[in-house]
Every structure is written in C-alpha cells, then in structure tokens.
Amino acid sequence: MKIAGIDIGTNSVRYLAVESHADGPPEIIAHGLATPRLGEGLIGSGGLSEEAISRTISELSLIKQKLESLGVSEFRCVGTEALRLAGNSDIFIRRASEIGLMITILTGKEEARLIYAGATDKLDLSIGGYLLADVGGGSTEIITTREGGEPSFISIPMGCVRLKELNSPNLQSSRPRSGPAVGGAATSVTMSQRGIPLGKINPDHEFSTQLEFNFMKEHCRDLLRENFPADYINPVDTTLIGLGGTFTTLAAVSIGLADYDGDRIHGLNLAGEEIERIGKRLRGMSLEERKLVPGLEPSRADIIIYGIIIVQSIMDHLGSKDVTISDHGLLRGLIR
C-alpha cells in the first residue's frame, strides 16, 4: 500500500510518500516541498488572502497528481498554525475538498506529538534529556522529555513568517488584543509601547539598525519566557534537536549543500558560533544576493533572518551551545 502525508504550514507545503512492506520498514517513494506561503498577510488581516489560498490549492493539486501517478491511494493531510489562526480557514478546507483532499487542522499539542513521534523514531531516549524545537512559519513547537519519560508539549506563537509580518510597515499596530491574530498583530501593540521602531525598515522588511534587530530578538525571548520557563532544563545533560526549514537551511548553508540531501543533514551538529557566523553573513547581503547562497532556497531568502532570530533566541533561553539537526519530524509521525 502507498500512502502520503502532506503538511500544510504557514510558509510551505511538504509531502512524504511511502510504500509499506510486510517484511520491513516503509520505503520512501517521493518527498518534496513547495512554498506557496499560505499565511502571507494573516497577522495583519486575521484571514487567509484569496491569492494565498489559490496559490496553495494549485500546489496541492500538482502534488496530488504527482503522487497519484506513483500509485498513492491514501492521503493524510494536516494543517498547522496558519489554518489554526485564520478566521476563514473553512474556505480553504472547502477548496481543498474540491480537489479530493480532506484536511485535518491540528491543535498545537497534536502537531507537537506528531513531530515527536517522527523525530525520535531512531533516537535512544533512555539516558539524559531531549528538547526538540520545530521552528515553522507561524509557530514553534517545543517538546521535552527526560530518560524515556512522557514528553511534554508546548506550541508558541513564534514563526519566521509571523515575525516578518510583525516587522512589516503595513501592519496596523492598533489592532486590539482579542481576535485571530493572537501573538501577532496583538503583540505589536506591546512592542510599540515598549518603543520598538516598527516600520523603520527597508522595502524588503529587513532591519536598518542593530537596535531593531535586537528588539525583535528580545520579543522572541519574551515569548519564550512567558510560555516556556527554562529553569528545570539543564543544558549540560539536555540535547537540543532542531527541526524545520530554518534549522535544515542553516545546516545546508554551513556545509555549502547546493542540492538538498536530507541524509547529509540529519544528525549534523551546529555550534552556536557557526549559527552566529551564518546569520551575520546573510544579514550583510541583499535579498538578491541571499538567493544565490548555496543551501538557501530562494523562496526562503526573505524569511531566513527571522528564523535565525528564533533559533538564537531559543538557544540563548536554554543556554545551549550547539544543536543537533533533524531532517525528520511531523511527516514521519504522520505516516507511521
């Protein structure tokens, strides 16, 4: 039997198809991603735009056709933060059903459980502690476990597309705290009250001063402090595992991997100093220059700095000196 998992996120749509065998583990027959950016404009408006919906449905239709041509007969489709937040997610769900895809919107905790199931498939969790951080476009899922015990899950409204939207000069900082943009536009009120110079940026939504960069980093640290006290985490005996496009991109850029190869990325260890070096290098480039960097997908060039801010904030919050990169995660958990 051939089945496929499809993960519809704020920034990207990822898929993984496998063929099951009675005498062995499933065989991967196809995998890939598209970046239609379903959540574009969500933080400012509270809903999915018609353009973003149409882009994503078009990509899903192409993915479905490709996988069906390979004999896939079962599709397990899930949506995450963008569909959780959007006030009009029902429109997207209906449009997807018209092309034959039934989508389940995961809660943050359900998403974290699937990430944990996929990422720890081949890990020995009997000794020490593990903390898994999956940085997405709209949210970051954090999963912790110690010595094989029950894992704990938390979803934080902190993602690279979300930060970019928050840093956009078009975002209205006057949105009230209630409503679908929790942690996004609502947070911008707090940020502006604290003196963060929102809007004083260039047309690519970049940072014009070190001060603006530091403010955004402090915003992420505040979210971490509010949602995930790190007092009980001992970085000495806790392994930090990083999942998601920002972490895998950092690994690919670090080794100059022009053509992505998950086998070379999975298990790679990155020091905090290397992440800092990559971040400074990329921040010194224009958007067009960034698109030419080996290991950095052009479609991710405008949000990678925001992802790095989140990664560094997590590592600073935990006191972690390095991170082990995982190429596994939600999709692996989805098809188990």
Q: Catalogue the long-range contacts made by 202-207 (C-beta closer than 8 Å, 24 or more residues apart).
A: 204/286, 204/287, 204/302, 205/164, 205/167, 205/168, 205/169, 205/302, 206/283, 206/287, 206/305, 207/167, 207/283, 207/305
Distance of alpha carbon 5 from alpha carbon 16, whole angstroms: 5
How do strand 269-271 and strand 322-325 relate by DSSP bridges?
antiparallel
Name 324's Cβ contacts closer than 8 Å, sequence gap at least 6: 239, 240, 241, 242, 267, 268, 269
| The pair of three-digit structure tokens given for residue 239, joined into one six-digit string | 């392994």
pLDDT of 187: 42
Q: What is the mean pLDDT of residues 137-142?
A: 93
Q: Is residue 213 part of a domain?
A: yes
* 54 and 137 housed in the same domain: no
- Start-to-end C-alpha separation, the chain: 13
Q: Is residue 236 part of a domain?
A: yes
* 180 and 277 housed in the same domain: yes
Amino acid identity for residue 31 in this structure = H
pLDDT of 124: 67
Residues pairing with 24 in the sheet: 21
Helix axes 304-318, 272-283, angle to 10 degrees: 150
pLDDT of 246: 96
pTM of the model: 0.83
Amino acid identity for residue 119 in this structure = A
Q: How many residues does the chain have?
A: 336
* 170 and 296 housed in the same domain: yes
| Tens digits of residue pLDDT in 256-310 | 998 888 888 988 999 999 999 999 999 999 999 999 999 999 999 999 999 999 9
Distance of alpha carbon 9 from alpha carbon 212, whole angstroms: 27
Amino acid identity for residue 313 in this structure = S
* 294 and 186 housed in the same domain: yes
* 181 and 270 housed in the same domain: yes
More confident: 92 or 267: 92
Q: Is residue 133 part of a domain?
A: yes
Distance of alpha carbon 284 from alpha carbon 190, whole angstroms: 29
User: Among residues 76, 106, 136, which one ends one of the domains?
Assistant: 106
* 88 and 13 housed in the same domain: yes
Q: In what order do the strands lie in the sheet with 129-135?
A: 152-156, 140-146, 129-135, 238-243, 322-325, 269-271
User: Among residues 106, 133, 149, which one ends one of the domains?
Assistant: 106
| Tens digits of residue pLDDT in 190-241 | 444 444 444 433 444 466 667 778 888 899 999 999 999 877 677 777 889 9
Q: Please give the share of the chain, as a percent, with pLDDT higher than 70.
A: 85
Amino acid identity for residue 4 in this structure = A
Distance of alpha carbon 44 from alpha carbon 187, whole angstroms: 11
* 173 and 230 housed in the same domain: yes
The CATH number covering residue 132 comes to 3.30.420.150
CA dist list (Å): 88 to 11, 45, 84, 227:
17, 11, 10, 27
Residue 64 domain boundaries: 2-106
* 266 and 327 housed in the same domain: yes
* 87 and 225 housed in the same domain: no
* 102 and 128 housed in the same domain: no
Task: Domain count for the chain, please give it.
Answer: 2
* 250 and 291 housed in the same domain: yes
Q: Is residue 158 part of a domain?
A: yes
Q: Is residue 116 part of a domain?
A: no
Q: Is residue 115 part of a domain?
A: no
Q: Is residue 113 part of a domain?
A: no
The DSSP secondary structure of 45-96, one letter per residue, reads: HSS--HHHHHHHHHHHHHHHHHHHHTT--EEEEEE-HHHHH-TTHHHHHHHH
| SS3 state of residue 134 | strand
* 142 and 88 housed in the same domain: no
Q: Is residue 293 part of a domain?
A: yes
User: Among residues 75, 106, 137, which one ends one of the domains?
Assistant: 106
The CATH number covering residue 98 comes to 3.30.420.40
Q: What is the mean pLDDT of residues 85-101?
A: 98
pLDDT of 175: 35
Is 180's pLDDT higher than 70?
Answer: no
